[in-house]
Structures are given as C-alpha cells and as structure tokens.
Amino acid sequence: MKLYYFPGACPLATHIVLEWIGKPYETQRLTREQTKEPEYLALNPLGAVPTLVDGDFVLTQSAAILEYIAELSPEIDLIGNTPRERAQTRRWLGLCNADLHRTFALIFGADAYTDDPDFKQILINKTKDRLQVVFAEANRQLADKAWLTGKRSIADAYLYVLLVWARATELDLSAQKNLMSFAARMDADPGVQAAMRSQGLIN
C-alpha cells in the first residue's frame, strides 16, 4: 500500500493506523503543486489528500481509507466486531470527519472567505468557539474511558490529528482534561511517534 500525504494534514490519521497494523506500506509526500499535476489528478481528480493505492485499487477520502485499512486487518480490531461496535466507531469517526475537520477548514481557509482582516478574525474566533463545543462532546465521551469507543479504533487516530491542529491554531483546550489526557497518551504511543517522525513533525 502507498499513502500520498501532506505533513500534518488529515492523512496523518491513516499513517498512524498503518503503523498500528504493522503491515508493509510506503508513503509519498506531496506539495500542493504536485497534487494539481496530471499524474496525481489521475489518482485523485480533486487534487486532494489522502490517496491510498493498494495494487490496482485507488481510494480517496480519509474516513473510507481508514475503514478499508481496518477491515484488511480484522485481527487488530480497530473498527469493532459487532454491528453496534462498528456503528459507534463510525459515529465518532463522523464527528471527527464531518464536524471537527470541516469546521477547522474555516480557519485554515479563512482567506478564501474574506479580504477584510477584521472579518477574518471574527470568523476565526467564532470558528474556535464552535470547535470548543464539538471537542467538548469528545471530552465527555472520554470521561470514563481511554478511547472514544472504549477500545482503540480508527476514530482515535483521527481525533488525535485534530488535536494536533488545535495546538497549531492555538485553540486552548486545556480545560477539557479528558482530551488532554487522551492527547498525552497518544503522544507517547509508538505508532503515533513513528508516523509523526516519518512526516517530520517531531524529531
């Protein structure tokens, strides 16, 4: 398998899960310019990341890629063994992908919405307020458990990446103690460290 990525972007979640699974894989770091070149657009017509290539199979979209990888290694149990377990994993994966990730896009892409610096700052501040609300849902879920569903899953890898983004955007989540404990556990995880080191995010 080969993962195409930007450092620190959402493919980091897939990178972490690939480390957890422990099967051979390779990665290809891209620049934004390279994602607009014909060779890459043939794989991902939207010119986005991630893209996963597994033999003659090409898959895009983080949530789909994470589920695919998890299902290739059921013995690692990163998605759940019953319909209810899998539904819970997809619930929290959805919160990460559809609610948190989408909301962060308003910060990272604020320049696309306005040229007015005052309005831009208002947009960023309002977006951070909304992120606090959504992160609080994950914080409540982690009140009595180490992982979002009670056991490690692909949703945890995605949540961790979003916490990395929170640090990068100076979103103060220090009051959300369960999230902070989760982040510390993930920081110390060997698979997380290997993925972060590979992407040049830590030494």
Give me the CATH topology for the region 2-76+194-198: Glutaredoxin (3.40.30)
In terms of Cβ atoms closer than 10 Å to its own Cβ (0-12, 13-18, 19+), residue 172 is exposed
Taking CA atoms, 117 is separated from 121, 122, 123, 129, 169, in Å, by 6, 9, 10, 18, 17
The structural architecture, per CATH, of the domain 83-189 is: Up-down Bundle (1.20)
Distances (CA, A) of 154 to 96, 115, 136, 188: 11, 37, 19, 17
Task: Answer whether the bond into residue 50 is a cis peptide, omega within 30°.
Answer: yes
Q: Would you state the pLDDT for residue 128?
A: 98
pLDDT band at 113 (very low <50, low <70, confident <90, very high): confident
What does pTM read for this prediction? 0.96
In residues, how long is the chain? 203
What is the maximum alpha-carbon separation in the chain?
Answer: 52
Question: In the prediction, which pLDDT does 53 show?
Answer: 98
Mean pLDDT across the chain: 97
Question: What's the pLDDT tens digit per position in 64-75?
Answer: 999 999 999 999
Domain chopping of the chain, boundaries: 2-76+194-198, 83-189
Enter the tokens of residue 69: 């990888």
* Residue-wise pLDDT tens digits, 60-108: 999 999 999 999 999 999 999 999 999 999 999 999 999 999 999 999 9
Decide if pLDDT at 58 tops 90: yes
DSSP state for residue 143 in the 8-state scheme = G
